[in-house]
Amino acid sequence: MWTTARALLAALSALAVLDANPAGAQSLQPAGWDAGMRMAEAVDRNPDPNVVEVDFEARVATVEIAPGLKVDAWTYNGTIPGPMIRVKVGDRLIVHFTNNLPRPSTIHWHGLRVPIDMDGVPGYSQEPVQPGGTFTYDFVVPDAGIYWYHPHVMSAAQVGFGLYGAFLVEDSTETETIGIADDLVLVLSDIDVDDDGALLPADTGGTVGMLFGREGNRVLVNGRRLPELVARSGAPQRWRVVNAAKSRYFKLDLGEGHVFRKIGGDGGLTEYSEDHDFIVLGAGERAGVLVTPTGEPGGEGLVRSLLHDRGYGSIFGRDFESLFTIRFADEPPYDPGPLPRTSREMEAYDLEGATGIDLELTLQKDPYDQTFAYGINHVPFWRAKPILAGLGETQVCNVTNSTAWSHPLHLHGFFFLVLDEAGEPVRPLEWKDTVDIPHERTVRLTVRFDERPGTWIFHCHILDHADGGLLSAVHLGLPPEEFRNLAEH
């Protein structure tokens, strides 16, 4: 099974990077430049250089998210975010997971093309890991890029309480050819706590709170409130950004005169790089960017999240969020010349003979108890029947969002390509596992299913929306009788 996946990986991952400096990828930053942002990393206990084997324990632990503000959070190995997993393309990852939380849990590997029995979704791919129970995740990592992990039991509550972490899959040729050694992983999130650090209930506002998607009242970067990054003015950096918030969108702003050179997205490098004044990430999305922070030596800069309209009530009476400060080292500014431009050989799916699928993201109100439920084609997940797909089949999905809120739509186990209104792939090509479907808009997506049969879910990654009904599944390559059994239950 993995032979075919590796052949596909080789075809997709041929990289050609222009205007870069392959030699001399050495740090240009002062010593300890990222100490205020650095996350814990998972400890590999396997001596094999091609196997990463780690122990993960989900437990309640006291975490300081700001000076003097401590939270009894739900954590992996006692930290927010959980330990960053760092592997190489093609490595085997073994995670020995122990659940010492008061509720069942799992780990879902967001964006990774794993076997179905490693996907971490109770009822579809594994049994929930009960309190005191264990489970071993074991799979080969096929794609370079920045991914993340989180539970798929009571997802909105457990992610909101602190259960998430970054997953970096490295390709050594990227660092060598891009020529920027100063590499920073940024996990953006939020948490809802009172002034004493107590976690606030995950169900505030009932179904009305679910409608909007609950946001935490403290925004965190790598688990900290307003951390500091030290930088040499003009020295380029590579940032890999994860939106691990359960509802919040981030619109990143570096300030006047700065641009983000976007070189990557959910599934590794994009077809070619593009410059943006802002980077918008819906919940679950990622981006890889090159940046050149500039300022007076000894001065400070601020990285902010500007307002982004994700639907009714999302910008009214609100202001931007301060994410982290950049303190410029008292060193002469560096003159980097132009930032590298990257490219990647990518081939769009052949859409001839593709199966058309129409999906409508909907909202219903129960006339009797006045509660709300989201759904797909007017059916919440607890009444939905899976979409059928064959192994190797290509589907084109017309996704219409008829609700008043945007929905970042996430597909487990596979990559989308986004199409324009004419049905042509949007350039630059970008492998996406999470695509924002703006409110009252239609977006066209295409996906090719490979040789991994199973029932793969897709859902809004505003996790309150998923819990509130906006979730369904693709029944891939399974015998008809198995589908009938699923439909009957």
Residue 23 has pLDDT above 60, yes or no: no
Question: How much is the pLDDT for 481?
Answer: 54
Report if residue 267 sits inside a domain. Answer: yes
Q: Which domain holds residue 360?
A: 355-488
Residue 8 has pLDDT above 60, yes or no: no
Report if residue 347 sits inside a domain. Answer: no
Token pair listed for 113: 């093309």
Check whether residue 137 and residue 241 sit in a common domain. Answer: yes
Q: How far apart are CA 152 and CA 128, in angstroms?
A: 9
Report if residue 320 sits inside a domain. Answer: yes
Question: How much is the pLDDT for 316?
Answer: 87
Q: How far apart are CA 228 and CA 327, in angstroms?
A: 7
Residues 210, 214, 219: CA angle, nearest 5 degrees: 170
Identity (one letter) of the amino acid at 118? M
Report if residue 248 sits inside a domain. Answer: yes
Check whether residue 259 and residue 380 sit in a common domain. Answer: no
The pLDDT tens digits of the residues spanning 133-178 come to: 999 999 999 999 999 999 999 999 999 999 999 999 999 888 778 9
Q: How far apart are CA 165 and CA 45, in angstroms?
A: 19
Per the structure, the count of domains in the chain is 2
Check whether residue 222 and residue 96 sit in a common domain. Answer: yes
Check whether residue 276 and residue 159 sit in a common domain. Answer: yes
Residue 325's CB: how many other CB atoms inside 10 A? 15
Q: Mean pLDDT over residues 280-305, rounded?
A: 97
Q: Mean pLDDT over residues 1-13, rounded?
A: 37
Q: Mean pLDDT over residues 439-457, rounded?
A: 96
Q: How far apart are CA 248 and CA 284, in angstroms?
A: 10
Q: Mean pLDDT over residues 447-469, rounded?
A: 96
Let me know: does 161 contact 150? Beta carbons within 8 Å: no
Share of the chain above pLDDT 90, in %: 85
Check whether residue 327 and residue 361 sit in a common domain. Answer: no
Report if residue 156 sits inside a domain. Answer: yes
Residues 5, 7, 11: CA angle, nearest 5 degrees: 115
> How far is CA 172 from each of CA 181, 265, 341, rounded to the nearest angstrom?
11, 18, 17
Q: Mean pLDDT over residues 353-376, rounded?
A: 90
The pLDDT tens digits of the residues spanning 39-77 come to: 999 999 999 999 999 999 999 999 999 999 999 999 999
Check whether residue 327 and residue 373 sit in a common domain. Answer: no
Check whether residue 325 and residue 394 sit in a common domain. Answer: no
Question: How much is the pLDDT for 329?
Answer: 97
Question: How much is the pLDDT for 18?
Answer: 35
For residue 10, what pLDDT band results from cuts at 50, 70 and 90?
Answer: very low
For residue 287, what pLDDT band results from cuts at 50, 70 and 90?
Answer: very high
Report if residue 350 sits inside a domain. Answer: no
For residue 304, what pLDDT band results from cuts at 50, 70 and 90?
Answer: very high
Phi first, then psi, for residue 379 (nearest 5°) are -125, 120
CB crowding 35-58: b at 16 or more within 10 Å, else e: ebbebbebebeeeeeebbbbebbb
Check whether residue 310 and residue 171 sit in a common domain. Answer: yes
> How far is CA 128 from each of CA 99, 125, 148, 158, 473, rounded to the nearest angstrom?
10, 9, 19, 14, 18
Check whether residue 93 and residue 170 sit in a common domain. Answer: yes
Burial class (CB in 10 A: 0-12, 13-18, 19+), 370: exposed
Check whether residue 384 and residue 337 sit in a common domain. Answer: no
Mean pLDDT value across the chain = 92
486 or 375: whose pLDDT is higher?
375
Residue 422 has pLDDT above 90, yes or no: yes
Pairing of strands 407-411, 454-460: antiparallel
For residue 16, what pLDDT band results from cuts at 50, 70 and 90?
Answer: very low
Residue 17 has pLDDT above 60, yes or no: no
Q: Mean pLDDT over residues 73-96, rounded?
A: 98
Sign of the CA dihedral 187, 190, 194, 198?
negative
The pLDDT tens digits of the residues spanning 379-398 come to: 999 999 999 999 999 999 99
Q: Mean pLDDT over residues 335-351, rounded?
A: 91
Report if residue 349 sits inside a domain. Answer: no
Question: How much is the pLDDT for 480?
Answer: 58
Global model pTM greater than 0.95: no
Residue 85 has pLDDT above 80, yes or no: yes
- The closest of 374, 377, 371, 350 to 363, measured between CA atoms, is 374
- The residue out of 278, 310, 342 marking a domain boundary is 342
The pLDDT tens digits of the residues spanning 220-259 come to: 999 999 999 999 999 999 999 999 999 999 999 999 999 9
Let me know: does 188 contact 218? Beta carbons within 8 Å: no
Phi first, then psi, for residue 184 (nearest 5°) are -130, 125
In DSSP terms, 397 is beta-bridged to 357, 445
Instruction: Residue 365: give its domain's CATH number.
Output: 2.60.40.420
Let me know: does 156 contact 185? Beta carbons within 8 Å: no
Question: How much is the pLDDT for 354?
Answer: 96
Report if residue 275 sits inside a domain. Answer: yes
Residues in the chain: 489
Check whether residue 459 and residue 423 sit in a common domain. Answer: yes
Residue 483's CB: how many other CB atoms inside 10 A? 15
DSSP 393-445: -EEEEEEEE-SSB-EEEEESSS-EEEE-TTSPBPSS---BSEEEE-TTEEEEE
Check whether residue 411 and residue 310 sit in a common domain. Answer: no
